[in-house]
A and B are shown apart, each in its own frame.
Chain A
Amino acid sequence: MHSEPSQPSTAAAAYYARFSDGKSASSRDVSVQLGITGVEISVVAPDEMVIWPYESLKAGEPVRTHAIDVLLTSTAHPGASLFVPSADFARSLRDFAPHLTAHAERLRNARPWIIGAAVAAGLIAIIYAAGWSPIRSIASVLPQTWRERLGDSAVTSMTEGHKLCTAPDGVAALEALRVRLSEAAGIDTPIKVVVYDWPLLNAFAVPGGKVVMTKGLIDSAGSADEVAGVLAHEIGHGIELHPETGIIRAIGLAATVELMMGGSGGALANMGLLLAQLGYTRTAEHEADVQALVLLKKAGISNKGLGDFFNRVETIEEDDTATKTLRPLDLLRTHPPTAERKKLVRQQADYPATPALDEGLWRDLKRICTETADPAKTSPDTEPTEL
């Protein structure tokens, strides 16, 4: 780096420019030339000049093809700046100092991240292809007490305003069904099942192996086998640790997206997030269906109940005009299409089965919501196991 006075190069055009030394806000007229090694600035007279080497130059903004002027600074002369109001100078400078062009700058800035993104995408593809789910591995090492607490908080927020069904005979019938299914499965995770007095037809699994069903579901069920089918599906979610995985995935995705988007385009990122989540839940539903079929078979309960349940869901879907109009948006559904799921059940071979509950117990279960209690008043630590 040098700024020694030297002889001007010959035959280069001279341009008018403004020069500031960066000590005060004043500037002065100078004449500049594009020399062989750098920009030559005539400070006092044409025969006394400083040279800013091309590689030491920085531009106020990337120098574009159509630039009409250019503002330069140089690491050889800290603080000073040079403004050359000439399109011709700017165009010629692009040839002498190509690192000042927008193209070169963008390449320099983006290349490491493009390579990084490609490597990350490759790693994800490899992990995906190897069938290894790191998120599920994290889910599986969470202590059971943490899972139960997470589950309780999920139940509290999702069932807000609804009461717990506590009719003793119904609770006993539900327990009989739970024992039959979970003992058949021989699983380590303790499963807890509760019913809420809620007219909506719904059932869901939360972390800690807890399953919540609604009065609406039990009321609409044609048989105990149907309830058993749904319960087996939800237990399937529990076995596969889907609720735990879902929460960790949601936190992880939110953090990653926030990190990637740098705080910009939040809404957009959330849309991508939603799509990614939906895609994930569809696979999860499929896995839970497969688990349910295994459980039902081991417990000697017919899987026709699950099939009947899918039929019911399909009828509801057909009645629902919203679903019809949104048919092209199948992509946005959390569950695989019901027809797909019915097909999966139909494909199973027949096996010997007995009803999930006898007539008496089934009647008891249907009346489980004749007595209710405020869930807040029943301690979450003691309530489910006795149910």
Chain B
Amino acid sequence: MNILITDDAAAAKEPIDISFQGSSAPMAGLGFVNGLLKVLTLGLYSFWAKTEVRRRIWSATRLNGEPITYTGTGKELLLGFLVAFFGVVLPVLLGGAAVNVFFGGSPQVLALYQGVVYVAFFVLFGNAIYRAQRYRLSRTEWRGIRGGLSGSPGQYGWAYFWTLALPFTGISMIAGILAYVTGPAVGGVIMVLALLTVLWVLPWRANYLQRLITREMTFGDRSMTYTGTASPLYRSYLFAWLGNAVIFGTAISSTAVYVMQSGLYAQQLAGIRPHPLDFLPIVGIWIVALIASAVVTAWYRASQINHFARNTHFEGATFRGEATGSTLMWLVLSNWLISILGIAAGVLIGGLLVYATAPSTPASDMAFQGADAVALLMVVPPIIVMTTVAGTLAQFRSARYFLSRLKLDGPVNLGLIMQSQSGRPKRGEGLAQVFDIDAF
């Protein structure tokens, strides 16, 4: 090896320009191919599909014109998933079955088991987020220099749990005592107010967790620093909080009014099964509520993104986020629309295939079973393909949104940043896949 690097870059600090290039049309094509391969491999290709999507997105991200690379593999994701599956999912499934067998389905034991599983999952959820982030960063390189996450998943998982569980149980207990003292009428109001108040912990929690994880992020042998406090987040949170309180309050009360006035409640009392279409207005109310919620929350989310960026520093340079409420709102809504259109297109294509080929009157019972198998074969693949197309597009659009609005202010002496000497995880984000946590 006789390659000598002349120190033309090491000598001086240089500004870092973050950009994102590439258009979504080729990603739709990639989604289509990935969807087809998933179908042909009974879903197992999804680990490689995910990997190729990431490689494309990472590669579209440029620092001073040079791409960052994703060096993870489908095999690592598969192994990580298998470990999580046999270590977590299967024991939980079998544990539930065992509780049924050995305690004769005693509701108390079952409730206890479920409670334990929920708490364990909640702790594991934060753990999974951290592990996924650590895996992705360790597989991210620029100019051959690796990223990383130097802390422990356990600590983050625990913080993820207590920062919500502690305020929640604390306030519920206080409110519960107050409600008990004041009686049901005032007590009900107190409980509702307490639940709404507990939500005020969220910006503090987001900032706390962000600091925890950002301080452990590395690029090469250098770490990031985080200087943010939660207080600047609260002004935009007030709007989101009020907006959501009004939206969900309205949704809950209009659902209640509808249930009482449409006779659904009376039918329930009389043991009559209501017509499925009677539930349509309720679905409508909640779709409108979710859209409205996404709209009012967008401004808070945008300011949170910018806040996180503004307080993240690397080698004397500081990040800057340029997210805005209206653009983020459009991103969320348009991505929903893409997902819905994807499912709709899949169902439509699948339905047409079934309709075109299904016999109008089944000849016998066995023919029915055959028809089932055929229908499954025809409906599911188009849905998988179309949702994969939609999912890939949405993922790409989100990545483009954030990365094209992220800047780094201030020059960095790149020549001083050396390769990280720390080890990296061997397997990929198994838990995160089990919990279906997926950023990009």
Contact = CB atoms under 8 A, between A and B. Distances in A.
A22 interface: yes
A331 interface: yes
Interface string B31-71: 00100010011111111101010011011000001110110
Interface in B362-394: 362, 364-365, 368-369, 371-373, 375-376, 379-380, 383-384, 387
B411 to A, nearest CB: 13
A110 B37 contact: yes
Contact of B46 (A157, A258, A264): A264
A156 B59 contact: no
Contact of B55 (A60, A157, A268, A279): A60
Contacts of B114: none
Contacts of A117: 40-42, 44
B9 A264 contact: no
B177 interface: no
B159 interface: no
Interface stretch (A71-79, A233-241, A291-299): A71-79
Given A27-B66, A110-B45, A43 B4 contact: yes
B101 interface: yes
A262 B371 contact: no
Contacts, number: 235
A296 B416 CA distance: 88
A263 B434 contact: yes
Most buried by B among A106, A263, A337, A380: A263
A281 to B, nearest CB: 10
A149 B105 contact: yes
A62 B55 contact: yes
B295 to A, nearest CB: 24
A24 B417 contact: yes
Contacts of A23: 5, 418-419
Interface string B69-87: 1100010011001000100
A263 to B, nearest CB: 4
Nearest to B144: A22
Nearest to A156: B105
A24 B145 contact: yes
Interface string B85-106: 1000110010001001111111
Nearest to A50: B3
A37 B416 CA distance: 35
B235 interface: no
Contact of B417 (A25, A28, A156, A260): A25
B104 A153 contact: yes
Contacts of B78: 262
Contacts of A260: 42-44
A156 B106 CA distance: 8
B107 interface: yes
Contact of A79 (B42, B46, B419): B419
Given A117-B40, A272-B380, A331 B372 contact: yes
A116 B78 CA distance: 15
Contacts of A286: 365
A18 B59 CA distance: 15
Interface in A1-31: 3, 5, 18-28
B414 interface: yes
A263 B435 contact: yes
Contact of A22 (B33, B47, B143, B364): B143
Given A71-B69, A83-B66, A109 B74 contact: yes
Interface residues of A, number: 83
B423 interface: no
A20 B143 contact: yes
Nearest to B66: A83
A24 B66 contact: no
Contact of B143 (A25, A62, A149): A25
Nearest to B414: A25
A43 B3 CA distance: 7
A24 B56 contact: no
A28 B81 contact: no
Nearest to B273: A322
B204 to A, nearest CB: 31
Contact of B101 (A26, A62, A149): A149
Contacts of B371: 331
B2 interface: yes
Contacts of A3: 1, 3
B56 A61 contact: yes
A60 B69 contact: yes
B67 A146 contact: no
Contacts of B2: 5, 43, 50
B26 A64 contact: yes
Contacts of A69: 67
B122 interface: no
A220 interface: no
A278 interface: yes
Given A77-B1, A114-B41, A117-B40, A109 B48 contact: yes
A24 B37 contact: no
B369 A262 contact: no
Given A66-B26, A153-B105, A28 B436 contact: no
26 contacts: A23-B418, A24-B145, A25-B142, A25-B145, A43-B4, A60-B55, A61-B55, A61-B59, A61-B69, A73-B144, A81-B144, A109-B48, A149-B101, A150-B105, A152-B105, A153-B106, A153-B110, A262-B44, A262-B77, A264-B50, A264-B433, A279-B369, A283-B365, A322-B276, A331-B354, A331-B375
Given A50-B2, A262-B433, 15 more contacts: A25-B143, A60-B67, A62-B52, A71-B59, A71-B69, A79-B144, A113-B41, A114-B37, A116-B44, A149-B105, A153-B100, A262-B77, A263-B81, A321-B275, A337-B362
4 A-B pairs closest in CB distance = A153-B105, A22-B144, A26-B9, A279-B372
Interface of A: 3, 5, 18-28, 43-44, 50, 60-62, 64, 66, 69, 71, 73, 77, 79-81, 83, 85, 102, 105-106, 109-110, 113-114, 116-117, 120, 146, 149-150, 152-154, 156-157, 199-200, 251, 254-255, 258-266, 268-269, 271-272, 275-276, 278-279, 282-283, 286, 321-322, 325-326, 330-331, 336-337, 340, 380
